[in-house]
Amino acid sequence: MKVDYDVIVVGAGPAGSTAARYAAERGASVLMIEKRQEIGTPVRCGEGIAKRWLDKIGMEPSGRWIANEVDGARVISPGGYMLEVDERHAGNEAGYVVHRDVFDQELAIMAARRGVHVMVKTSATGLVREGGKVCGVVANNMGRVHTFRSHVVIGADGYESQVGRWADIPVELAEADVDTCFQRTLVGIDIDPKFTCFYVGSFAPGGYIWIFPKGKDVANVGIGFQLSKVKEPGDPMRYTDAFIARNPGLAKGQSVRDIAGAVSICAPIERTVADGVMLAGDAARVIDPITGGGVINGCITGKYAGMVAAEGVRKSDVSAAFFKKYEAMWRAEIEEKLFRNWMAKEKLATLTDDMFDRAVKALSEANLTKVGTLELLAALRERDPELVKEFEDLI
């Protein structure tokens, strides 16, 4: 087949730019299209990421996109009990608070420097098929319709992914597997800039409220609210504002940015590939179901998708069967944790405030050196065996 590019990546978020770069580094000609006019904006993110993983995607920490470095995370229960965890053990969202727009642009710049052709203001509107086989993308660039042909299409088009649906990959989500989010960036507030904070329980039904400090008096204050628990439209904003109003140190601030969005909090989906197509990042539903963090898993899946796409092109095999290699790579690294955290999320969504208080109190008294789901459960079992019965199947 005559092609314009070996690989087309739809979406220039963290997953797309990483996929495009790794495919190009391995010799593929790559087009990355992005529907927005500027990569990374508008930001829809709490902007928290862990520190110790950037080497996995060949990226150096940089003051250009790091707004603040934190020492750890605090989990606070409705009754005010607090569990403090150092940054190394606090999961995928504690370490750096970043400027997501600049971070995303940096990843796209790295891809472009590897020879990826980047087109912004270019929206994929469908897949090109020949004899039932996917062989490119139809895209609209400022009113002009283009048909780009390729051997492989990588769908890195985020939570609202269309590529998955077009390729008949089941990516639908149940209401209980979606967190609807709202966030204000507050300035002129009193916070501890060295800790990200997570408020659990009835602060945020089925989710949590976060405070991610971007500087000494600036923080993203937001909520992840399980969609199935929303009673009225606007609940996420109302709960955020009620929380801010109850905290005088926050209430005195001004919001300079308000955002709304959604994240998937589902179990790993069964399939992320089809003939000629791979999904990466939010499109592949790899967000952590407990924290709602997806930047790191987006980059990891993007990396593997790019590598396997280039290899498939080289070996003239872009079948779903060959792309199982991609599935195996990302699943080996993150699937078990995603599944365990999804199960834990299901349980957490049923806990009362009193149970959250007991759990956070018990854990804060245990001298934890590691804080994975298993370690937390083991510590809880020792201190509050009755409560931990709720989680027995996870152990």
Ligand X SMILES: Cc1cc2nc3c(=O)[nH]c(=O)nc-3n(C[C@H](O)[C@H](O)[C@H](O)COP(=O)(O)OP(=O)(O)OC[C@H]3O[C@@H](n4cnc5c(N)ncnc54)[C@H](O)[C@@H]3O)c2cc1C
Binding residues for ligand X (CB under 6 A): 10-16, 33-36, 44-49, 92-93, 123-124, 156-159, 162, 181, 183, 222, 259, 261-263, 281-283, 287, 292-295, 298
Could you tell me if 325 and 308 are in contact, meaning their C-beta atoms sit under 8 angstroms apart?
yes
Could you tell me if 49 and 211 are in contact, meaning their C-beta atoms sit under 8 angstroms apart?
no
Question: Which CB, 78 or 126, lies closer to ligand X?
Answer: 126
Question: Which CB, 158 or 312, lies closer to ligand X?
Answer: 158
Residue among 68, 65, 47 nearest 194 (CA): 68
CB of 349 to ligand X, least distance (A): 18
Tracing tokens 């919001």 back to the chain, one arrives at 255
CB of 17 to ligand X, least distance (A): 8
CB of 19 to ligand X, least distance (A): 9
Instruction: Tell me the CB-side half-sphere exposure of residue 195, using CA atoms within 13 A.
Output: 15
Question: Which CB, 87 or 157, lies closer to ligand X?
Answer: 157
CB of 301 to ligand X, least distance (A): 8
Question: Which CB, 92 or 185, lies closer to ligand X?
Answer: 92
CB of 376 to ligand X, least distance (A): 20
Could you tell me if 336 and 51 are in contact, meaning their C-beta atoms sit under 8 angstroms apart?
no
Question: Which CB, 189 or 280, lies closer to ligand X?
Answer: 280
CB of 195 to ligand X, least distance (A): 14
Q: Sheet containing 254-264: which strands, arranged edge to edge?
A: 82-86, 72-76, 195-200, 208-215, 218-226, 178-187, 254-264
CB of 196 to ligand X, least distance (A): 9
Q: Which residues contact 242 (CB under 8 A, 6 or more apart)?
A: none
List phi, psi (to 5°) of 82: -135, 130
> What is the Cα–Cα distance from 395 to 388, expressed in whole angstroms?
9
Question: Which CB, 124 or 388, lies closer to ligand X?
Answer: 124
Question: Which CB, 81 or 96, lies closer to ligand X?
Answer: 96
Work out whether strand 218-226 and strand 178-187 pair parallel, antiparallel, or are unpaired. antiparallel
Tracing tokens 């926050």 back to the chain, one arrives at 250
- Dihedral of the CA atoms 192, 68, 35, 310 (nearest 10)? -130
ω into residue 42 within 30 of 0, thus cis? yes
Question: Which CB, 160 or 382, lies closer to ligand X?
Answer: 160
Is the alpha carbon torsion for 228, 256, 71, 45 positive or negative? positive
CB of 366 to ligand X, least distance (A): 27
CB of 270 to ligand X, least distance (A): 19
CB of 317 to ligand X, least distance (A): 25
Work out whether strand 218-226 and strand 117-119 pair parallel, antiparallel, or are unpaired. unpaired
Tracing tokens 């197509």 back to the chain, one arrives at 277
User: H-helix or E-strand containing 354?
Assistant: helix 353-365
Question: Which CB, 260 or 395, lies closer to ligand X?
Answer: 260
Question: Which CB, 117 or 383, lies closer to ligand X?
Answer: 117
Strand partners of residue 274: 277
Work out whether strand 277-279 and strand 218-226 pair parallel, antiparallel, or are unpaired. unpaired
Tracing tokens 């790579």 back to the chain, one arrives at 329
Q: Which residues contact 63 (CB under 8 A, 6 or more apart)?
A: none
